């Protein structure tokens, strides 16, 4: 491809209730819905939204196409990260919208104040705030220190 500006990567979430999930992501993370395609039954066949400047896509489950949610398959190994200006406020907002804290907010070796929430649809979200502004080399040095006595 010659025009890299056309290369966009977007996560595609499959959930049991896309309508409720979209409302949750708006309330929890300030998501902005771009559009949705809805069947007459109300099932969401496809929708797009943004969190910050990141494009996300979502749909209800379609088992006949192999599109199952983390709830149906017993979990998801993918985690999402949202860098925010105020991690504590972001955690409070997500919990108020219905998320469960899966990792409490703590200062991390890599220079961020970070915590994780589990959304009601089977996905986990790191909410983190850059507090130390470390270079890659500084992060590596701290990472190495973690294993110094191992």
- What predicted TM-score, i.e. pTM, was given to this entire model? 0.87
Counting the structural domains of the chain, the total is: 1
Q: Give the pLDDT confidence score for residue 7 in this predicted structure.
A: 74
Domain region containing 30: 4-146
Q: Give the pLDDT confidence score for residue 1 in this predicted structure.
A: 41
Q: Give the pLDDT confidence score for residue 9 in this predicted structure.
A: 82
146 pLDDT band (50/70/90 cuts)? confident
DSSP labels, the chain: ---GGG----EEEEES-HHHHHHHHHHHH--EEEEEEE-TTS-EEEEEEEETTEEEEEEE-BGGGTB--HHHHT--S-EEEEE-S-HHHHHHHHHHHT-EEEEEEEE-TTSEEEEEEE-TTS-EEEEEEESS---HHHHHHHHHHHTTT-
Q: Give the pLDDT confidence score for residue 121 in this predicted structure.
A: 97
148 pLDDT band (50/70/90 cuts)? confident
Q: Give the pLDDT confidence score for residue 4 in this predicted structure.
A: 62
pLDDT in tens, 108-132: 999 999 999 999 999 999 999 999 9
pLDDT in tens, 18-52: 999 999 999 999 999 999 999 999 999 999 999 99
Give me the CATH number covering residue 34: 3.10.180.10
């Amino acid at each position: 491809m010659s025009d890299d500006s056309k290369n966009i990567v977007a996560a595609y979430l499959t959930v049991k209730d896309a309508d409720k999930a979209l409302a949750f992501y708006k309330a929890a993370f300030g998501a902005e819905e771009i559009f949705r395609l809805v069947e007459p039954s109300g099932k969401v066949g496809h929708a797009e939204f943004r969190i910050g400047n990141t494009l996300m896509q979502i749909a209800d489950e379609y088992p006949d196409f192999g599109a199952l949610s983390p709830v149906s398959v017993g979990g998801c190994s993918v985690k999402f990260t949202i860098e925010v200006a105020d991690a504590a406020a972001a955690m409070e907002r997500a919990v108020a919208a219905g998320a469960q804290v899966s990792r409490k907010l703590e200062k991390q070796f890599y220079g961020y104040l970070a915590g994780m929430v589990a959304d009601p649809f089977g996905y986990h979200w790191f909410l983190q705030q850059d507090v130390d502004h470390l270079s890659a080399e500084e992060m590596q040095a701290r990472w190495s220190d973690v294993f110094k006595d191992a």
